[in-house]
Structure 1
Amino acid sequence: METTWRTVAITAVAPIAWGATYVVTRHLLPADAPLWGAALRALPAGLLLWALARRRPVGSWWWRAPLLGLLNFGAFFALVYISAQSLPSSIASSMMALSPLALAGLAWPLLAQRPSLRWALACAVGILGVLLVVGWSAGAVAPLGIMASALALLVSSLGAILTTRWRDDTPLLAMTAWQLTAGGVALVLVAAVMEGRPPRVDAAGVAAYVAIAVVATALAFVCWFTGLRHLPAGTVGLIGLLNPVTGIALGVLVGGESLTLAQALGMALVLAAIAIINVRRRGSTRASAPAQKPPVPAA
Structure 2
Amino acid sequence: MKTPTARLSDILLTALAPMLWGTTYFVATELLPPNHPLLVASLRSLPIGLLLIAWLRQLPQGVWWWRILLLGSLNIGLFQALLFVAAYRLPGGVAATAGSIQPLLVVWFSWIILHEKPSKRSIVAAIAGLIGVGLLVLGPMARLDSVGIAAAIAGAATMGLGTVLGKQWKRPASLLVFTAWQLAVGGLVLLPIALIVEKPITLLSTTNLLGFVYLGVVGTGLAYTLWFRGIDKLKASAVSSLGLMSPVVATLIGFVFLHQTLTPIQLLGMAIVLISVLIGQQTR
* TM-score, length of structure 2 as denominator length: 0.93
Q: 2:141 matched to 1:138?
A: yes
The residue type paired with residue 204 of structure 2 is V
Q: Distance in 2 between matches of 1:277 and 1:66?
A: 30
Partner of 1:223: 226
What do the CA deviations read for 1:13-68 (whole angstroms, capped 9, x no partner)?
Answer: 11101110111111121221112101110102212332453321112111111121
Classify the secondary structure of the residue corresponding to 2:22.
helix
Asked if the contact 1:91/1:137 (under 8 Å) is kept, the reply is no
Classify the secondary structure of the residue corresponding to 2:262.
coil
**Residue 261 of structure 1 is aligned with which of 260, 264, 269?**
264
The residue type paired with residue 15 of structure 1 is P
The residue type paired with residue 42 of structure 1 is S
Q: 2:42 matched to 1:36?
A: no
Which one is further off, 213-222 or 255-264?
255-264
Q: 2:65 matched to 1:62?
A: yes
**Residue 10 of structure 1 is aligned with which of 4, 10, 13?**
13
Q: Distance in 1 between matches of 2:42 and 2:107?
A: 29
Cα–Cα, structure 1 residues 252 and 113, in superposed 2: closer, same or farther, change >3 Å? same
Which one is further off, 32-41 or 196-205?
196-205
Q: 2:81 matched to 1:78?
A: yes
Asked if the contact 2:104/2:127 (under 8 Å) is kept, the reply is no
Q: Distance in 1 between matches of 2:220 and 2:168?
A: 22
Q: Distance in 1 between matches of 2:181 and 2:31?
A: 28
Q: 2:212 matched to 1:200?
A: no
Cα–Cα, structure 1 residues 93 and 167, in superposed 2: closer, same or farther, change >3 Å? same
Q: 2:158 matched to 1:155?
A: yes
Aligned pairs for 1:115-130 within 5 A: 115-130=118-133
Asked if the contact 2:94/2:142 (under 8 Å) is kept, the reply is no
Q: Which runs of 4+ in 1 moved over 6 A?
A: none
Partner of 2:101: 98
Q: Distance in 1 between matches of 2:202 and 2:19?
A: 27
Classify the secondary structure of the residue corresponding to 1:201.
coil
Deviation at 1:186, TM superposition (A): 2.1
Cα RMSD for the two superposed structures: 1.7
* TM-score, length of structure 1 as denominator length: 0.89
Deviation at 1:218, TM superposition (A): 0.5
Deviation at 1:169, TM superposition (A): 4.1
Partner of 1:283: none
Partner of 1:178: 181
Partner of 2:23: 20
Q: Distance in 1 between matches of 2:180 and 2:256?
A: 33
Q: Distance in 2 between matches of 1:199 and 1:269?
A: 44
Q: Distance in 2 between matches of 1:80 and 1:160?
A: 16
Asked if the contact 2:20/2:218 (under 8 Å) is kept, the reply is yes
Q: Distance in 1 between matches of 2:279 and 2:157?
A: 25
Q: Distance in 2 between matches of 1:129 and 1:190?
A: 34
